[in-house]
Amino acid sequence: MKNLNIFKVAVFSLLLFLSTNIYATKFILSDDGLIDPRTIVKVNEIGNEAQSKLGVNIYVYAKTSLGLEKNISTKDKIKYIKDYEASITKTLVKPYVLLTMAIEDTHVNLIVSSKLKEVIDKNDILNGYVVPLLASKDKNSTFAKASASLLNGYAAIADTIAQSKNIELESSIGSSGKVAGTIWKVFMYTLVVIGILLYSYAMLRRKK
């Protein structure tokens, strides 16, 4: 399996920029049909401004699946994804930030080149802007949630770098992204607390 995984990563690396994905752009390296065309337009707007004003390249790589084996162990999964992402970053122009997503593999990640590691808080971006929208249990399709979460995270990355340089981006979507993520987290925490209270109440009634 180890040799097979190495071979797959090599193949993916070779084909990375030969993709026939119609929506692949300078900053969206792959979207696999997961990103709404309107989101693509906005990402490119933000990406171009970030490149020209901040001197930073912000990339997105989204896939339905990275091609993992069905019964792969957690250890092998982590190594496979790490190698897969390493094959992507080799081609990127520094300084860069790469936001990756694989829906079926339940994977999101943020990879930052060394120059930006003190500027970008990976956990803040993913947990505050990307994951809450992607994991939301609502009527919206995976397509819609992937688009929203990627745009949310992408804009937050650009805004964070801009703030560190005291530069205001015209393409910024403002604080709405963080608000959306915060509202969702508060909603989920509320549901958990209510669930605990109802369970405790039920147990007390049963004892009586």
Mean model confidence pLDDT for the chain: 80
φ, ψ of residue 76 to 5 degrees: the values are -70, -35
Q: Which of 29-38, 127-136, 194-203 has the lowest mean pLDDT?
A: 194-203
Distance CA 151, CA 76 (A): 30
Higher-scoring residue by pLDDT: 1, 189: 1
Whole domain around residue 55: which residue ranges? Answer: 2-207
Res. 16: pLDDT tops 60: no
Q: How many domains does the chain have?
A: 1
Contact between 34 and 142 under an 8 Å Cβ cutoff? The reply is yes
CATH at residue 56: 3.10.310.50
Q: Which residue did the predictor score with more confidence, 207 or 40?
A: 40
In the predicted model, what is the mean pLDDT of residues 62-82?
A: 92
| Residue range 148-201, pLDDT digits in tens | 899 999 999 999 999 999 999 999 887 544 545 544 444 444 444 455 566 555
